[in-house]
Copies of this chain bind each other. A is one copy, B any other.
């Protein structure tokens, strides 16, 4: 299957580290040293995962024909509406009747869960042109006074048109992907939580998240490469979940790859949840060269992980 087109949407408001210096006394140097983050975007009042999804689908419409989409899979862990999910508002917006429409959450790793679900519908011949929309409104659910994780989060959305057959020379080929739950590992079920009836997103065991992310992303990357007889040396770019620049660098180190091969947007977007990797794919789309191989690898609270091998 193929990624025919991808778009991203970012809220206009930029929040620099100086905001958290004023609020919590965290210096720019303290934040950037620990996370790599200098700034992030914040949704405006009235913006949420549903409105951002519609925005990004409008952007994608300018690049690709969405009128024949026959499957919509949304993903978020920061939902505006758990009944009228982002997938449903997108279906409503596109006004395409009677196609499977569902939203998923596997926290920050949902992008690959969503694409694997698409892969299943393609295998069943129940769909051939799928719209995947990932959208996070972290600042809706975060506590910016939280000195542990308040400064990590950013908002944003991305949309991908995934087709079973190649549509053009510029399509990215999805060679294969895998996802897995690692809820048995470490402090999986308490390290990062978002319990809407209790409070917003908190990360009581950041170190455990860090350690497991550094284990699972390289492991999953090597697994998907091995399926195609490849190793890390065959990879042109690694696009890990954008949780923390130190995690991303650790992943590259474990894979034995130089930092030039790392794709990263966390410096200016923060952790945009399951949208981060898709936003980066959209940002870098025009720079990819024929024959290049990209491994997208994700890790999320819960825990869950995945890896996808893409070829230009």
User: A: which residues have CB within 8 A of B?
Assistant: 48, 72, 76-85, 87-89, 91-92, 95-107, 110, 113, 116-117, 119-121, 123-124, 126, 140-141, 179-185, 188-190, 192-197, 201, 300-304
Q: Which residues of B lie under 8 Å from residue A84 when comparing CB positions?
A: 107, 183, 188-190, 192-193, 301-302
* Contacts A/B (CB < 8 Å), 9 sampled: A48-B197, A72-B181, A82-B196, A83-B105, A83-B302, A85-B106, A88-B106, A92-B189, A104-B104
Instruction: Report the bound CA distance from A289 to B223 in whole Å.
Output: 46
CB pair B81–A195 under 8 Å, yes or no, is: yes
Instruction: Report the bound CA distance from A185 to B101 in whole Å.
Output: 14
Instruction: Report the bound CA distance from A83 to B136 in whole Å.
Output: 12
Partner of A102, one of B48, B105, B188, B189: B105
Q: Which residues of B lie under 8 Å from residue A194 when comparing CB positions?
A: 81-83
CB pair A91–B121 under 8 Å, yes or no, is: no
CB pair B196–A79 under 8 Å, yes or no, is: yes
Partner of A91, one of B72, B79, B105, B181: B181
Instruction: Report the bound CA distance from A300 to B192 in whole Å.
Output: 30
Partner of A120, one of B72, B124, B196: B124
Q: Which residues of B lie under 8 Å from residue A179 when comparing CB positions?
A: 100-102
Q: Which residues of B lie under 8 Å from residue A192 when comparing CB positions?
A: 83-84
Instruction: Report the bound CA distance from A84 to B190 in whole Å.
Output: 8
Q: Which residues of B lie under 8 Å from residue A302 when comparing CB positions?
A: 83-85, 88, 101
Query: Which single residue of chain B is at the shortest CB-CB distance from A80?
Result: B195
Instruction: Report the bound CA distance from A79 to B194 in whole Å.
Output: 10
CB pair B88–A188 under 8 Å, yes or no, is: yes
CB pair B104–A181 under 8 Å, yes or no, is: no
Query: Which single residue of chain B is at the shortest CB-CB distance from A92?
Result: B183
Partner of A124, one of B91, B119, B183: B119
Partner of A182, one of B89, B98, B193: B98
CB pair A92–B188 under 8 Å, yes or no, is: yes
CB pair A196–B196 under 8 Å, yes or no, is: yes
Instruction: Report the bound CA distance from A126 to B224 in whole Å.
Output: 13
Q: How far is the CB of A215 from chain B (nearest CB, A)?
A: 12
Q: Which residues of B lie under 8 Å from residue A103 when comparing CB positions?
A: 104-106
CB pair B101–A180 under 8 Å, yes or no, is: yes
Apart from A82-B105, A116-B121, what are 13 other A-B pairs with CB-CB below 8 Å? A78-B82, A79-B196, A84-B183, A88-B106, A88-B107, A88-B183, A91-B183, A98-B180, A99-B180, A101-B179, A103-B104, A123-B123, A196-B196
Most chain B C-beta atoms within 10 Å of own C-beta, residue among A72, A300, A302, A304 = A302
Q: How far is the CB of A135 from chain B (nearest CB, A)?
A: 13
CB pair A113–B120 under 8 Å, yes or no, is: no
